[in-house]
Amino acid sequence: MKREKRIKIYVAILLTIMPGFLSGCWDSHELNTLSIVSGLGWDIDQDTGEVTLTYQSIIPSEIESSSSSNEGGGQKGGNPLRAIQLDQDTGASPYEVLSRYAQHASRIPFYEHTQVYIFGKDGVQRGIYPFLDTQARNPVSRPNALMVVSAEKTASDILGVQDGMENIQAFGMAAEIKLSATFSKFPAVTVLQFQNRLLSKTTAPIAPMVGIFEQTGREGKKTQKIRVVGTAVFKGDRMIGELNERESSGLLWAINEIKIGFVTIPEANLEIVKAKSKIVPELQGDQVKITIEIDQESNLVQYNGHQGITADLVQELEKGQAKEIESQVRAAVEKSFDLEADVFGFGDAVHRKYKKEWKELKPRWDDIYPCIEVVIKAKTHINEIGEINQALIKD
């Protein structure tokens, strides 16, 4: 009897669990029911606040590499210009649009591979808070996605540009932004970084700006390309201004995000090997003084003059470099003072060093900020001067 009872219990458990299995797997999505979204574009109407969402999704069959499609007939080959498709949808709030798409599209959007979030210029000036909250609250996609502002009017403009070299345009754009950050031109900002800047009540969020360039190729054929053109500066969730190329570089110098790149001075071109910077705050009574210390090493890659390379000349070049760097940073600082936006994170630096005083300073930071005394000290060192030590044309 005991054994029978046990059998009864086991079968009862089995019968209880089985319907769970038999009724289908709730979370399983066949790959061909998913549409992989590579980039999202958000446009918010200035007046009504309506959200327009542009999806760029990947069509896998068009990406097929040439080798496997040989038997299926030549038609199956990948056509790079058709590897992505754009869809648009409009609604009153971001989440509404996100779910609306899911209702009348043939496939469920899959955001885990989204690499880029683009915001139209208009929307950004109105404030992107609804989007930010949706993104943080819902586990929709990764914190590594890049935040980008469109220099054109809308985000969909950018998403529609087919670059030709990259199959999937959003990935190409992401790669380009990351490359420009590596080359120390413009920052690449992930969602996480943006959120952190937002959370710190004094630091201003930034995001790179992307615009369309027209290029005339062979036979006068015009092709459009995407380029990173500036850095957008936010206050809270609204964009209040932008930094141009020089100012963006200066910003990167100050916040220790210089990786590789070039410094161009009238006499020479120098390639950056290593660069480090530190923001050192100092509190003198009520006056905040910030010293930006920059340490840089570089190689001489092009010399415009006709002299031989001597130690003195090298020193001069170093000084010239330091001046150039300092002026870039100064340009960025001035612009940020203009915009009254602490893009450098000076507030956080003061907080870290002066715990107690910060409590008092924080609420007044907006007023204090433009009055900060900023001292920029750049130290450069030229490592290598290249293969030749004399000029080709001597004076």
Partner 1 sequence: MFRLLSKKMRRWRPSSSDNQTQAKQNGSPKYLSQNLEGNLQILREALGQSSDVIIRDMKINSNSKADAAVIYIDGLVDRNLVNHDILQPLMFNLQVIKDNVKERHSSLIDYIKSSVLTVGQISDTKDIDTVISGVLLGNTAVLAEGVTQALLIDTKGWETRNIEEPSNEVSIRGPKDSFTETLRTNTALLRRRIRDPRLTFQSLQIGERSKTDVAVAYIKGITPDNLISEINQRLERIDTDAILDIGYIEQFIEDSPLSLFPTVGITQRPDVVAAKILEGRAAILVDGSPMALTMPFLFMEGFQNQEDYYARPFFSSSIRWLRLLGFILSIYLPGTFVSLTAFHPELFPTQLLVSVAAAREGIPFPVAVEALLMLSLFEILREAGLRMPRSLGPAVSIVGALVIGQAAVSAGLVGAPMVIVVATTAIASFLVVPYADAGALLRFIMTVVAGFLGLFGMVIIQLEILSNMAALRSLGVPYLSPVSPLNLCGLKDTFLRAPLWAMDSRPEFLDSPDKRRQSPGQMPRVPQTKPNKREGQ
Partner 2 sequence: MFLEKGRISNFQLSVLIIGFVLGSSVIISPGGEGAGHDAWIACALGLMEGLLIAWIFTALTKLFKDKTLIEINSLVYGKILGNGISLLFIGYLFHLSALVLTNYGQFFKLQIYPATPKTLSLLLLMLVCASTVNRGIEVLARCSLILVPIIILVVFTDTLLLIPHIDLNNLMPVLDAPIGKLLLASHGAASFPFAETVAFLMVLAFVDKPEKGPAAVSRGLLIAGFILIMAVARNVAVLGQMAEITNYPTYLVAQVIDIGDILTRLHVLVAISLITMGFIKISVLFYGTVLGLAQVFNLRSYRPIILPVGILMVILALTNVGNTQEMFDFVNKGYPIYAIPFQIGIPLITLVVAKLRRLPQKGELDA
Q: Which residues pair with 67 in a beta bridge?
A: none
Backbone angles phi, psi at 290, to 5 degrees: -115, 130
Structure tokens at 373: 């005394």
Least separation in angstroms between CB 128 and partner 1: 25
For partner 2, which residue of 79, 93, 182, 196 counts as binding (CB under 8 A)? 196
Least separation in angstroms between CB 112 and partner 1: 3
Q: Which of 9, 18, 57 is closest to 34 using CA atoms?
A: 57
**CB of 200 or CB of 244, closer to partner 2:** 200
Return the DSSP state at 205: P
Ordered alpha helix ranges (H), 75-146: 94-104, 121-126, 129-137
Calpha distance 97→116 (Å, rounded): 18
**CB of 323 or CB of 352, closer to partner 2:** 352
What mask, x for binding partner 1 by CB under 8 A, covers residues 51 to 70? -------x-xx-xxx--x--
Structure tokens at 218: 């062979």
3-state DSSP helix/strand/coil percent for the chain, to nearest 5?
40, 30, 30
Calpha distance 49→284 (Å, rounded): 45
**CB of 24 or CB of 266, closer to partner 2:** 24
Q: Which of 190, 165, 184 is closest to 328 using CA atoms?
A: 184
Footprint (CB under 8 A) of partner 1, residues 217-256: none
Least separation in angstroms between CB 20 and partner 2: 5
**CB of 156 or CB of 193, closer to partner 2:** 193
Q: Using the rule CB under 8 A, give the single segment among 28-36, 90-98, 322-330, 331-339 that binds partner 1.
A: 28-36
Footprint (CB under 8 A) of partner 2, residues 3-42: 9, 13, 16-17, 20, 25-27
How many residues of this chain interact with partner 2, rule: CB under 8 A? 25
Q: Is 243 exposed, middle or buried (0-12, 13-18, 19+ CB in 10 A)?
A: buried
CB 249: neighbour CB atoms within 10 A?
27
**CB of 175 or CB of 280, closer to partner 1:** 175
**CB of 78 or CB of 345, closer to partner 2:** 345
Calpha distance 255→261 (Å, rounded): 15
The owner of tokens 């290598």 is 384
Verify binding: residue 27, partner 1, rule CB under 8 A.
yes
Verify binding: residue 171, partner 1, rule CB under 8 A.
yes
Least separation in angstroms between CB 205 and partner 1: 26
Task: Give CA angle at 359 (353, 361), nearest 5°.
Answer: 85
Structure tokens at 32: 């061909």
Task: Give CA angle at 192 (191, 195), nearest 5°.
Answer: 85
Footprint (CB under 8 A) of partner 2, residues 114-143: 136, 139, 142-143
Q: Which of 86, 85, 87, 67 is closest to 77 using CA atoms?
A: 67
For 232, the 3-state DSSP assignment is: strand
The option from partner 2, partner 1, none interacting with 192 (CB < 5 to 8 A, set by class) reads partner 2
Q: Which residues pair with 43 in a beta bridge?
A: 52
The option from partner 2, partner 1, none interacting with 71 (CB < 5 to 8 A, set by class) reads partner 1
User: Helices H, strands E: what count in the chain?
Assistant: 12, 13
Q: Which residues pair with 72 in a beta bridge?
A: none
The option from partner 2, partner 1, none interacting with 353 (CB < 5 to 8 A, set by class) reads partner 2
Least separation in angstroms between CB 170 and partner 1: 10
**CB of 52 or CB of 135, closer to partner 2:** 135
Least separation in angstroms between CB 98 and partner 1: 17
Verify binding: residue 139, partner 1, rule CB under 8 A.
no
Footprint (CB under 8 A) of partner 2, residues 330-359: 348, 351-353, 355
Binding site for partner 2 (CB under 8 A): 9, 13, 16-17, 20, 25-27, 112-113, 136, 139, 142-144, 192, 195-196, 199-200, 348, 351-353, 355
Binding site for partner 1 (CB under 8 A): 4, 7-8, 11, 21, 25, 27-32, 34, 36, 58, 60-61, 63-65, 68, 71-72, 110, 112-113, 171
